[in-house]
Amino acid sequence: MADAAPEGRRSRRRKRSRRYNPDGTMTLIEHIYEFRRRLGWALLAVVAGGVFGFIWFQTRLGPVESLGQLMNGPYCGISPDRLLPGTIAPDGTCRLLQTTPFEGIMIQLKVGVAAGAVLTSPLWLYQLWAFIAPGLYSKERRYALTFVGFASVLFAAGAVLAYLLVPHAFAVLMSFGGDFFTTALTADKYISFVLSLLVIFGVSFELPLLVVMLNFVGVVKYAQLKKWRRGIVFALFVFAAFATPGSDPFSMLGLAGALTVLFEIAIQIARLHDRRKARRDRAAEWAGLPDDQAAPFDYTPSTIDDEPAEKAGQARTDDVT
């Protein structure tokens, strides 16, 4: 029995190996076991990141501020005369309102898990790729691995852009009402607003990468993207208007502008990829021709459009008359 267990693990490992199982074929039960294993590793990575984020919430990491101070940064940017008296500590730091006994630890846990999921995104995205990879061709697996790397970078870039726009969003939203209101944000509502904005920006930055991946696998062509460019830009502004949780113009225009630039980059990447692919296909087509066969040129003669010349002659006749 002792030798049976290692042998079973060895056989399962061989089925996941490209050397012993180049097609990646599995039964339904094996797919379920593989999904359970990948999901377990992904959850373990998120939990480990959540523990790190939970500790980081109140701990300064060298030159990096604590996670709590980073989250409070946009709130502390509000003018002190608009904040509720007592929310500014004697040392100058600002504090959020805690309305329930467990609100503090729940906020710390929520922010820690969110930060840990972002920091460990390459790990759990790799587990997702590893589960899908056996059903892909070698070229598609290479694209998927590239997708994992760029997806992590783009998500972090979107979250950073959202964090930079949050103070401007608060400045606009708090300006309504003049001197009739005092700002007293509860921790739960404030953190939920900031986290939702970070997640929306991070996920939205993945859309141009999705377009590039669809072009690389042959689903979308550059000619189609060029034809749809105006409609895509309009749809991006509409999406930004509905996606941003605040009603301020800064977050909407920031998201729409960034997505427009990223989509234009994605379109240009698709143009270069289609041009390179067409050149490779043409070279491959010519390379397989025998010596006694003509090259596949288009020998159809072009037609001469006489209509412009006839119009020019008619115009000269009218001038003479």
pLDDT for 242-260, tens place per residue? Answer: 888 766 677 888 889 999 9
From CA 253, how far away is CA 259, in angstroms rounded? 10
CB 295 within 8 A of CB 253: no
Residues 170-224: tens digit of each pLDDT? 777 777 666 666 667 778 888 888 888 888 888 889 888 888 888 887 788 888 8
From CA 170, how far away is CA 51, in angstroms rounded? 30
Q: Where would I find the H helices in 174-248?
A: 187-204, 206-216, 222-227, 229-243
CA 255 to chain centroid, in Å, comes to 12
Picking from 50-64, 76-90, 295-309, which range would have the lowest pLDDT averaged per residue? 295-309
Does the pLDDT at position 44 exceed 90? yes
The residues facing 157 across adjacent strands are: none
pTM exceeds 0.85, yes or no: no
When pLDDT is cut at 50, 70 and 90, the band that residue 8 belongs to is low
Does the pLDDT at position 308 exceed 60? no
When pLDDT is cut at 50, 70 and 90, the band that residue 2 belongs to is very low
CB 200 within 8 A of CB 114: no
What interhelical angle do 67-76 and 138-173 show, nearest 10?
A: 40
From CA 266, how far away is CA 45, in angstroms rounded? 31
CA–CA–CA angle 276, 130, 114 (5° rounding): 100
pLDDT given at position 119: 84
Q: Three-state SS for 253? A: helix
CB 206 within 8 A of CB 125: no
pLDDT given at position 261: 92
Average pLDDT value over all residues in the chain: 77
From CA 280, how far away is CA 39, in angstroms rounded? 39
The residues facing 183 across adjacent strands are: 83
Cβ within 8 Å of residue 134, ≥6 positions away: 16, 21, 24, 26
